[in-house]
Amino acid sequence: MSKSLAGILALVLCFPFSFGQDKSKKAYELIYEDIQVLKKQLFVLEEKLDRNAADIESLKNQVRDLQSLLKLLQADQGNVQDSIKNVPSQYQFLLDKIEQVNLLLAKISEDLLTMKGGPAPAAVPGQEAKGKAAPVEKKPTEQKAELPSAEQKPRVVPSTSLSPQEVYNTAYSDYLKGNFDLAIDGFKIYRDNFPDSPLADNALYWIGECFFSQRKFSEAIDEFNDLILDYPQGDKIAAAYLKKGLSLAELRRKDEALVVFKLLLSKYPLEEEARIAQEKIKELSVK
């Protein structure tokens, strides 16, 4: 009886100990499993860090390439800006050259018209027309010495003791009073004595205006042509173009007038003279 009781007691005492061992074993297994899971996660993180490092290095290379490209673009942009700055001056130079060619063509046309309406050409020596006697040549002793014309004489520039402003104001006052011949002489004296004055181009313009007021349109055109050629940057250029076109229209040279009015529109579209030129273009186009 006592032996069986001792065995039962020993069994009861061993059971809690074995139960405690099983419980500790399961705790270790769980901890081990957790450690393995953490190791796997750490490995995945290391792989991601490696990939991110590679991506970062690739981005750095791309940034360096973009910086190099940006420097090249900035250099190209500077060259383009320099080229753009040169465009207006080149464009203005071309316009001036075109205008000079137009003026030369206009003068050539005038010369051709003068030649057509001038005296017939002299007969060639040795040739005779049918039914007419050959012209008798004058002997050298019979020919009179040709005197120099007034145009061939050197023009004497009259001197003046007045100041440039006084000469200019006097001539302009004569223009306003309708004394156009006196005004022309005054403005010519101003230009001859003070060619470098800031108002030299204005004096030339008012000479053309005086001729225009006298309805001497051919003379006015010559003055306006000189102004356009000699002072392309003057403040009277747009007005000179307009009055030149009006003078051509008065001479019934419609095609030439239209060319001048259109050139005025293209070069000075914002000036008041451009508006008047537009009206004259419509008016001449209807005729």
> Which pLDDT score, from 0 to 100, does residue 250 have?
95
CA distance 169 to 145: 45
pLDDT at 53: 80
C-alpha closest to that of 261 among 247, 278, 286: 278
- Cα 37 to its chain centre, rounded Å, is 75
Average pLDDT of the residues of the chain: 74
Q: What is the tens place of the pLDDT at every residue in 121-168?
A: 333 333 333 333 333 333 333 333 343 443 444 444 455 567 889 999
The pLDDT score that the predictor gives to residue 158 is 54
pLDDT for res 278? 93
Whether 280 contacts 246, CB under 8 Å: yes
Q: Where are the domains of the chain?
A: 1-85, 164-286
Q: What is the pLDDT of residues 189-209, one digit of tens each?
A: 999 999 888 999 999 999 999
Q: Do the beta carbons of residue 160 and residue 189 sit within 8 Å?
A: yes
What does the CA dihedral 176, 178, 179, 181 come to, rounded to 10 degrees? Answer: 100
175 pLDDT more than 90: yes
Output the pTM of the full model.
0.47
Domain 164-286 part of CATH 3.40.50.1100: no
3-class secondary structure for 74-130?
HHHHHHHHHHHHHHHHHHHHHHHHHHHHHHHHHHHHHHHHHHHHCCCCCCCCCCCCC
Question: Between 82 and 225, where is the model more confident?
Answer: 225
Q: Mind listing the pLDDT tens digit for each residue in 17-28?
A: 555 556 666 777
Rg (CA), the chain: 51
